[in-house]
């Protein structure tokens, strides 16, 4: 605490500044603190978004995207004013700071920014109807969980109906707290599920290395080997066994990169059943029950612990 006071005193001598006390609200992000930790949400941001689009009293939905709909570039009629769609998607992208539950859907919708159609716009408004039923939702940065780093990664092989490229999703946890998450479409087409999962694994390993270095700079130096949970046995075998030459010729660099990190003891690819794969939320649309179950395990709460 004394170090914080000294830092404030030093900054006040160099800059004109005010001490506004504990952080409560910053750029649309609300911060609640209690014994359980710090709860981050964007409740007011969501409320303002719903009001802007006249959906304050709409019927809420349980999923951000229809599980039976595949959005195509040719679906619907081109919007006469694409800025309406682009502005909405931009606001939803900012909302993913505290809402990993919509990260995959927003990632899919953002691929149509250049030529959005009426179908795409309706899909984007569906996200708003989903948000209407989960306005209080946010992430809890737990104060009492162990400082243990673990990661989850998954890939939806050939999931994009327009390009047949795979979508990678990963999330990294520090104890029970979600640190970072991403949903990203790969730049090349994967020729097999194993290849798609290997590339997802490599992408996650890169993020883990960066996170571990950042935590070391912040003083958290005693980090053990980080388990990276993957639900594909073939990808795990390729990552740990250099004998699989025929299966890895087209994956090449990614596989050798993962093996180097495994050999150095930095990461450990580990099997996890698909039902417990947290990264599924970031790589595909799930059933309502599975969606809610994985969000809870990911550290996403429906409301602040302070209001519970």
Return the closest-CA partner of residue 166 out of 139, 211, 127, 200: 200
Does residue 101 surpass a pLDDT of 60?
yes
On the CB side of 162, how many CA atoms lie within 13 Å of its CA?
13
Higher pLDDT, 123 or 302: 123
Alpha helices by DSSP H, listed for the chain, are 2-14, 43-52, 83-95, 103-109, 118-132, 193-217, 233-240, 245-248, 253-263, 288-297
Q: Can you tell me the mean pLDDT for 229-236?
A: 83
The backbone region for 153, taken as left when phi is positive above 0, alpha when psi lies in -120 to 50, beta otherwise, is beta
Does residue 133 surpass a pLDDT of 50?
yes
Confidence category of residue 308, pLDDT binned at 50, 70, 90: very low
pLDDT tens readout for residues 17-74: 877 777 888 888 888 888 888 888 999 999 999 998 888 888 888 888 888 878 888 8
pLDDT tens readout for residues 185-218: 876 777 777 778 888 888 898 899 899 888 888 8
pLDDT tens readout for residues 73-87: 888 889 888 899 999
Q: What is the mean pLDDT of the chain?
A: 83
On the CB side of 106, how many CA atoms lie within 13 Å of its CA?
22
Q: Can you tell me the mean pLDDT for 221-226?
A: 83
Residue 45 confidence (pLDDT): 92
Give the C-alpha distances (Å, rounded to integers) separating 174 from 7, 102, 233: 27, 21, 25
Say which DSSP state 201 is in: H
The top-scoring range by mean pLDDT among 26-30, 258-262, 264-268, 303-307 is 26-30
Q: How far apart are the first and last CA of the chain?
A: 29
Q: Can you tell me the mean pLDDT for 161-183?
A: 85
Does residue 178 surpass a pLDDT of 70?
yes
Domains of the chain: 41-137 (no CATH), 145-300 (3.30.420.10)
Cβ burial of 307 (10 Å; 0-12, 13-18, 19+) is exposed
């Amino acid at each position: 605490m004394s170090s914080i006071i000294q830092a404030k005193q030093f900054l006040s001598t160099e800059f004109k500044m005010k001490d506004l006390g504990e952080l409560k609200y910053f750029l649309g992000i609300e911060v609640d603190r209690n014994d359980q930790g710090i709860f981050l949400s964007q409740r007011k941001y969501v409320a303002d978004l719903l009001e802007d689009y006249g959906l304050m009293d709409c019927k809420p939905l349980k999923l951000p995207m229809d599980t039976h709909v595949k959005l195509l570039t040719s679906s619907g009629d081109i919007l006469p004013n694409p800025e309406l769609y682009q502005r909405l998607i931009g606001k939803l992208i900012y909302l993913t700071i505290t809402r990993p539950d919509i990260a995959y859907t927003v990632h899919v919708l953002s691929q149509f920014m250049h030529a959005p159609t009426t179908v795409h716009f309706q899909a984007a408004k569906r996200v708003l109807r989903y948000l209407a039923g989960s306005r209080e939702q946010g992430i809890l940065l737990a104060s009492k969980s162990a400082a243990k780093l673990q990661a989850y990664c998954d890939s939806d092989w050939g999931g994009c109906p327009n390009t047949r490229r795979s979508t990678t999703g990963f999330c990294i946890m520090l104890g029970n707290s979600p640190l970072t998450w991403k949903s990203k479409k790969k730049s090349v087409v994967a020729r097999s599920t194993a290849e798609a999962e290997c590339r997802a694994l490599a992408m996650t390993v890169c993020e883990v290395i960066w996170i571990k270095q950042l935590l070391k700079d912040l003083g958290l130096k005693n980090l053990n080997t980080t388990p990276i949970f993957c639900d594909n046995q073939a990808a795990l075998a390729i990552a740990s066994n250099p004998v699989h030459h025929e299966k890895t010729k087209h994956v090449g660099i990614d596989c050798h990169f993962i093996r180097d990190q495994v050999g150095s003891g930095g990461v450990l690819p580990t099997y996890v059943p698909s039902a417990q794969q947290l990264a599924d939320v970031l790589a595909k649309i799930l059933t309502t029950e599975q969606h809610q179950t994985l969000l809870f395990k990911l550290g996403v709460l429906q409301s602040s612990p302070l209001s519970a």
